[in-house]
Amino acid sequence: MSECSEATRNPIQSDFPYCFSEDGLLRHRETREPYRFPFRLHDAGDTERAHRSLCLYISRHVHHLLETQFQLIKVFLEDSFVFMSAGALENPGSLLVLIQDLGTVRSGVWSWKLAAHDGLERGSQIPYIRWALLESCAVLLMNPNEGSQTHEQHVRMVWERMLSQSSPEHIFIVAHGYGGLAFVDLLCRQIEDVQRKVKAVAFLDSSHSFWHQPLGNAGRDWLKSHSRSWIPSRKPLNRSVGSLKAGCTQISAGTQCHDSTPVVCMESVFRFFSKMIKPKVPPTPFEIMTRSRSRASEQNNNV
């Protein structure tokens, strides 16, 4: 259904001329036409106002869905806030933490452009939240572009006040763009604490650097074994796009578009997380004996 339902038409009071349909597509309230950004070449002020209106509407709509459909709670921290599932910090299971890119995107959104033109299933963090909750995994959505703090300061604040003393056995980090740099900054400053709590990190076209951020050997070694990086590429999803300077496994994100990286590689990200918590089963004595005999047989055949 493409019509705006009563539930989606007016979840918030707004004079924005577009609304989201039930399937998450932005349509004009009267004509039902897809969203078109009113760019005016010679009126930068009007273009900026149009951008702010779009960002505000999408943000408020997504936040409404987070609270009403997914029962996430808003937790205020100084002049910012985060969203998380109830009991996320006390849950002894797993916790998924999402960190978006630098810019104007707010909590719950990966890309304004994709949300406006391709819908919430591609531009918002809702698919990640839905997947996590279906797997009984708690979620916490950072909000580093809100308030007066820098990206790095926000990530450190959320870690120190909320995550550092939390109960989840496994914390999984998904960091898009500059969010990856902010997480690595946290690792540089609180390496032992982060290594103790974080099970795996998914870098999505990340801006971080293994070599220009002061990680040290211990930090680089930990990331090599606990992280994976999805890189925009012409190659199919999950194909190797390795680099001698990568520092961790690099694979194709299945798209060349930075904004599309989170949605295109989402299933690959969750498979990586699942693999990281599977216990490594040691070989049985029979398997060890069989391998030993096989090697001996090969040696005899080569003599």
pLDDT > 70 in the chain, percent:
84
Helix crossing, 126-134 with 44-68: angle to 10°?
10
Mean pLDDT value of segment 176-195: 96
Residue of higher predicted confidence among 117 and 287: 117
Residue 6 has pLDDT above 50, yes or no: no
Mean pLDDT value of segment 19-33: 93
Q: What is the pLDDT of residue 278?
A: 83
Mean pLDDT value of segment 3-26: 72
Residue 301 has pLDDT above 70, yes or no: no
Residue 285 has pLDDT above 90, yes or no: no
65-78 b/e (C-beta count within 10 Å ≥ 16 → b): bbeeebebeebebe
List domains and CATH numbers for the chain. 1-69 (no CATH), 71-293 (3.40.50.1820)
CA 252 from chain centre, in angstroms, equals 16
Mean pLDDT value of segment 59-77: 97
Residue with tokens 């036409």, as numbered in its chain? 33
Overall residue count recorded for the chain in this entry: 303
* Confidence at 47, pLDDT banded by 50, 70, 90: confident
Say if CB 222 and CB 199 are below 8 A apart.
no
Query: Is the Cα dihedral 291, 296, 300, 303 positive or negative?
Result: positive
- 255's tokens: 């798209």
Mean pLDDT value of segment 74-85: 96
Which of these, 159, 64, 154, 52, lies nearest to 108 by C-alpha position? 64
pLDDT > 90 in the chain, percent:
73
* Confidence at 259, pLDDT banded by 50, 70, 90: very high
State how beta strands 80-85 and 138-141 pair. antiparallel
User: Which range (10-14, 105-109, 110-114, 228-232) has the least confidence?
Assistant: 10-14
Helix crossing, 126-134 with 266-277: angle to 10°?
30
Q: What is the pLDDT of residue 191?
A: 95
pTM recorded for the entire structure: 0.87
By three-state DSSP, how is residue 111 classified? coil
User: Which range (20-29, 35-44, 88-97, 214-223) has the least confidence?
Assistant: 35-44
Q: What is the mean pLDDT of the chain?
A: 88
By three-state DSSP, how is residue 28 classified? strand
CA distance 231 to 75: 32
CA distance 228 to 249: 5
For the chain, helix (H) and strand (E) counts, in that order, are 12, 10
Residue 300 has pLDDT above 60, yes or no: no
* Confidence at 46, pLDDT banded by 50, 70, 90: confident
Q: What is the tens place of the pLDDT at every residue in 91-136? A: 899 999 999 999 999 999 999 999 999 999 999 999 999 999 999 9
Q: DSSP letter for 109, please.
A: B
Residue 293 has pLDDT above 70, yes or no: no
Q: DSSP letter for 15, please.
A: -
* Confidence at 211, pLDDT banded by 50, 70, 90: confident
